Structure 1
């Protein structure tokens, strides 16, 4: 590979992964601001963490081949976090199907534990077994990744392919069930499921194609594949932010409600009442009571109108 291509790929990777990391951070921050962590959003956050940490390690250490021990550690960590990405995508598929077929979850804590064991525990088992069997082929002279020639790469490819095929089955079952249901177009539950289904249908092939071209670029040393891998790798975080936040009507509605709550809090704050207006102590007392009452009784998921201080005082 020429120096020009190396420089171009480095720039694409830095900019692309930078955009991806910013998008992943915005996704997590958005969920934290909303403060409404459903089981589905907890899965989203863990998926973001797995991709984000993996990309940081990829940027910092994929080419750190001078130190053999350091390169081996980088390769092991990359194996763990990128396998975890696929495991959390598997959890996404399972949760989507469970959300469709389960009317009432009697034991959500048990299901969450199973999800965490799948997302973080299964990759750990895979990596520990792989390191115990063939730790010498973590890292090579060209990059800090699993060796293709020794066949160790199948410790990553095998689980990834299994997840992809399993998720295809789950998504197919979800599509089949939704297609059979009648008069569910306006049902809020199925609207959310369809939105999640669209995200999964886009993200799963994106992850699969990313690592397909990644393997081809390592094995075939073809510049075209390396460019495609660098571009697709940078799009993961951006697409997650678009589908889980920007394109989610539920998230947009909750952000709007959060904004209205803040506006109402500021609009009814005592500090917003001018000292020169000559309001009676009774009106100030009513103002304080109204502030507490409004904040305490704001209904989740219901629209309301925020009154300005002046409008409220006119009413009292």
Structure 2
């Protein structure tokens, strides 16, 4: 059975990228889980440096009987100890600890702060009236209660947002230290899960960019920086350039951003990720402030749906007094960040966050192409929060080596299975039996699946070139491939016939077990009919239920993938809701376990045991027993076990089992042909007759008289005796194998019903 389907299946799962060959630079150069992207290593947040070898975390620690795990620099880490079940904050950490880095680059742990287990975010939000007097205490408690972002619910974020907004409300007169802590709270909120952010409180977050302009602050998910414009008696028009450089990981720090005044144009470099140039044509005094959000979780759109896990940064720029600068021109460039092995950029839109609509809009913004193809250019005539909303097409590329192996293996299997099926039907009189329908059903389903796989596994969208959109129009989705109903139908057929093939391997095992353990006695009445109903009916029920449940809820891409026409694999790791698990992996696992149990029984009791009812007058050799075991292994589908070994978390091991899986499963039809057709006496006799007929035909053809030459005596004698040697050639006769016995006896049993 084709192995590329399962190979590519694992490839789309982020954690099981086993089919594509990683660049050698990533494996040999980047360490500690770092990945190579174009011109450098992208490190996990706990590592940094050229090769991801520099520690960026605080080790496990203990403070006042509180235990803490590894904490990333710039973040607060929760304690292992949790609030008791009888407290208001049951399950929340009892303490938090901050991992800091000094100006000299030393990583230190701050003292732990104890959490009030009876104080909740809801109760803190209710204290906003007293925030002027207790701003530092309320801000600190909010920070502590949001330190474990994975535990936050939509209500928790709503309450925390209310507190933070009031702290930055100038009328509340919160102390400066409370505002700094509130920025850290915002950074922690941006680590929360995407689905807990609700639209009803999105408008509250926009006031941050008006309030956070007094100082330069850097936290893992948010950076705030401001610049004072020159104060002159005669104010002059100025330009302000805000740049963001690529870091070693996805954590923001003070080394990544900088501001320059009176720069006339954008000046991107290789490591530039974002630049924004504000050009005022009228005189201006005051400050310009910038807020950089690491992701767009605070900007949940009703018109633009995100399906990928690519983080899209948002940059906000405001004049210090919150006033709109007249006659301003804002130029921006964004470097798109996405998985280039799976996607390619289709189009983008230059947008700003409209507070009145509580959504993205394009008014006053347009695309501005630039000379550097690495960047997306935008231009707007106002200052606010900006982003480039990108849409992607799938990169329909497949591993060449595995693709070739699969096509060659499938081609050989198709030819071999067709010959096997014809042989079983045509030679039934010579074998003096009826057709072995259970075995033929297995070969037929496998043949159909191989044909469907060879000609239908690739999505036809691969050959459709969609032109990118030049207009500044907001796309509906970040990943929006064209509909392809043919691919959906092909997925249904592949799903069905692969399940049918696996089911027939199990039914062949059941029938063989019945025949051998019952000493070749006749099968029960209507046994074959019962097997037929199971072999073709159970897979139909599974596929029908899967399509009927998944398709109305999640659409075509909830059931299938886009890269190939095969079952969808969840990118978020939620396999419990995946059709891939329930409608394929689970049935396949049950079938393989059943086949393994039957194989052990047959091996112990029949092949290597002593069963008086099955004793042959001719003793079988060890080699014949091994061949019989190999024949059973092939028809029982045990080569699929290699697919489970591909889950081993070692790249080199994955590659080895990847190729083994593809080779053995794509050639399974060829293996059946060799073991169940070529090795039979009927086929060998027919092949011998054909060979002799061809030899006789060649012998009757008159060859031109050769030129008389002098030959060495030994060479002459060898050539003279060659016709006699050809006449004496015969295929070796073999004694009956367990395969022949199984096919013959099962035929005779079936012919009685």
* Short-chain TM bin: 0.5 to 0.7
Q: Where do 1:134-153 residues align within 5 Å?
A: 134-135=550-551, 136=555, 137-149=558-570, 150-153=577-580
Q: Where do 1:8-47 residues align within 5 Å?
A: 8-36=401-429, 41-47=436-442
Name the counterpart of 1:294: none
Deviation at 1:64, TM superposition (A): 1.4
Name the counterpart of 1:7: 400
Deviation at 1:224, TM superposition (A): 5.4
Once residues 602 and 661 of structure 2 are traced to their aligned partners in structure 1, the CA distance between those partners, rounded to angstroms, is 30
Of 75, 93, 96, the match for 2:491: 75
Structure label with greater radius of gyration: 2
Per the normalisation by structure 2, the TM-score is 0.30
1:163 equivalent in alignment to 2:562? no
Deviation at 1:200, TM superposition (A): 1.6
Once residues 143 and 240 of structure 1 are traced to their aligned partners in structure 2, the CA distance between those partners, rounded to angstroms, is 27
Deviation at 1:201, TM superposition (A): 2.2
Question: Which string of whole-angstrom CA distances, capped at 9 and with x for unpartnered residues, describes residues 209-262 of structure 1?
Answer: 36447889xxxxx76555444322321111110111112346646x589x69xx
Comparing 9-18 with 116-125, greater Cα deviation is found at 9-18
Once residues 213 and 76 of structure 1 are traced to their aligned partners in structure 2, the CA distance between those partners, rounded to angstroms, is 26
Q: Cα distance 1:28–1:88, how it changes in 2: closer, same or farther (>3 A)?
A: same
Name the counterpart of 1:185: 616
- Unpaired runs of 5+ residues, structure 2, are 1-19, 22-340, 342-396, 462-482, 571-576, 649-653, 694-753
Once residues 47 and 9 of structure 1 are traced to their aligned partners in structure 2, the CA distance between those partners, rounded to angstroms, is 25
Question: Which string of whole-angstrom CA distances, capped at 9 and with x for unpartnered residues, describes residues 65-89 of structure 1?
Answer: 5252111111111110000111100
Once residues 548 and 639 of structure 2 are traced to their aligned partners in structure 1, the CA distance between those partners, rounded to angstroms, is 27
CA RMSD of superposed structures (Å): 3.4
Name the counterpart of 1:270: none
Q: Cα distance 1:252–1:91, how it changes in 2: closer, same or farther (>3 A)?
A: farther
Q: Is residue 64–residue 144 contact of structure 1 (8 Å, CA) maintained in 2? A: yes
Q: Is residue 65–residue 143 contact of structure 1 (8 Å, CA) maintained in 2? A: no
Question: Which string of whole-angstrom CA distances, capped at 9 and with x for unpartnered residues, describes residues 11-48 of structure 1?
Answer: 22221111110110111121122125857821121111
Deviation at 1:101, TM superposition (A): 3.0
Name the counterpart of 1:111: 527
Q: Is residue 40–residue 95 contact of structure 1 (8 Å, CA) maintained in 2? A: no
Aligned length: 250
Comparing 91-100 with 229-238, greater Cα deviation is found at 229-238
| DSSP-derived class of the 2:617 partner | coil
Comparing 197-206 with 58-67, greater Cα deviation is found at 197-206
Q: Is residue 459–residue 562 contact of structure 2 (8 Å, CA) maintained in 1? A: no
- Unpaired runs of 5+ residues, structure 1, are 217-221, 264-316
Q: Cα distance 1:174–1:40, how it changes in 2: closer, same or farther (>3 A)?
A: farther
| DSSP-derived class of the 2:399 partner | helix
Q: Cα distance 1:171–1:233, how it changes in 2: closer, same or farther (>3 A)?
A: closer
Q: Where do 1:1-316 residues align within 5 Å?
A: 1=20, 6-36=399-429, 41-64=436-459, 66=461, 67-102=483-518, 103-105=520-522, 107-108=524-525, 110-135=526-551, 136=555, 137-149=558-570, 150-154=577-581, 155-178=583-606, 179-182=609-612, 184-186=615-617, 198-209=630-641, 211-212=643-644, 226-249=658-681, 252=684, 255=686
Per the normalisation by structure 1, the TM-score is 0.68
| DSSP-derived class of the 1:24 partner | helix
Q: Cα distance 1:59–1:246, how it changes in 2: closer, same or farther (>3 A)?
A: same
| DSSP-derived class of the 2:562 partner | coil
Comparing 127-136 with 244-253, greater Cα deviation is found at 244-253
Q: Cα distance 1:127–1:39, how it changes in 2: closer, same or farther (>3 A)?
A: farther
Deviation at 1:96, TM superposition (A): 0.6
Q: Cα distance 1:81–1:196, how it changes in 2: closer, same or farther (>3 A)?
A: farther
Deviation at 1:177, TM superposition (A): 2.6
Q: Between Structure 1 and Structure 2, which shows a larger proportion of strand residues? A: 2
Once residues 524 and 436 of structure 2 are traced to their aligned partners in structure 1, the CA distance between those partners, rounded to angstroms, is 17
Which structure carries more relative contact order (alpha carbon 8 Å, separation 6+)? Answer: 1
Once residues 133 and 9 of structure 1 are traced to their aligned partners in structure 2, the CA distance between those partners, rounded to angstroms, is 33
| DSSP-derived class of the 1:180 partner | coil
Q: Is residue 413–residue 667 contact of structure 2 (8 Å, CA) maintained in 1? A: yes
Q: Cα distance 1:130–1:89, how it changes in 2: closer, same or farther (>3 A)?
A: same
Q: Is residue 210–residue 232 contact of structure 1 (8 Å, CA) maintained in 2? A: no
Q: Between Structure 1 and Structure 2, which shows a larger proportion of helix residues? A: 1
Name the counterpart of 1:309: none
